[in-house]
Chains A and B, each alone.
Chain A
Amino acid sequence: MTIELIFRILLDFGLAFVVGFCWGILFGSPKRILWVAGLLGALGHSLRFILLQSGTGLIAATMISSVSIGLIGIYCAHKVHHPPVVFTMPACITMIPGLYAYRTMLGCIKLTDPAIVQHNPGIIGQIGYNLMLTMSLLFTLAIGISIAALLFRSKSVREISFRPKQKKL
Chain B
Amino acid sequence: MSKIPTLTNEYVAASEFADLALDIATTLLASGAHCGRITRNLNRMAKHWNLEVQMQLTFTGVVLTVTSEFDPQHTVTRYHNTPPHSVHLELLTEFSRLTWKVADGDLTFEEVKKETERIKKVNHYNYWCIAVAVGLSCACLCLLAGGNLTDAIIACVAAFAGSMIRVFILHHNFNPMISFVIASFVTTMIAGTDMMFRWGAAPETTLATAVLYLVPGVPLINSLIDLIEGYLSSAWNRALFGASILLCIAVGMTLSIALLGINNF
> Which A positions have Cβ atoms within 8 angstroms of B?
12, 15-16, 18-19, 21-30, 33, 45, 81-83, 85-86, 89, 92-94, 96, 98-99, 101-103, 105-106, 108-110, 113, 116, 138-139, 141-143, 145-146, 149-150, 155-156, 158
Contact = CB atoms under 8 A, between A and B. Distances in A.
A124 B94 CA distance: 47
A99 B208 contact: yes
Contacts of B215: 96, 98, 101
A146 B228 contact: yes
B140 A105 contact: no
B45 to A, nearest CB: 13
B204 to A, nearest CB: 8
A155 B42 CA distance: 13
Contact of B130 (A26, A89, A139): A26
B89 A29 contact: yes
Given A86-B92, A142-B224, A26 B36 contact: no
Interface in B15-38: 31-34, 36-37
Interface residues of B, number: 55
Give 9 nearest A-B pairs by CB, closest first.
A142-B224, A22-B137, A102-B208, A22-B133, A28-B88, A25-B133, A146-B225, A15-B140, A98-B212
Given A89-B218, A99-B205, A149-B225, A155 B40 contact: yes
B90 interface: yes
Nearest to B145: A99
Contacts, number: 142
B230 to A, nearest CB: 10
Contacts of B88: 27-28
Contacts of A145: 221, 225
A109 B125 CA distance: 36
A93 B216 CA distance: 10
Nearest to A110: B262
B144 A19 contact: yes
B141 A19 contact: yes
B133 A30 contact: no
B13 interface: no
A133 to B, nearest CB: 13
Interface stretch (B51-59, B171-179, B249-257): B249-257
Contacts of B124: 28
A107 to B, nearest CB: 11
A39 to B, nearest CB: 15
Contacts of B168: none
A93 B44 CA distance: 30
Interface in B76-113: 87-93, 96-97, 100
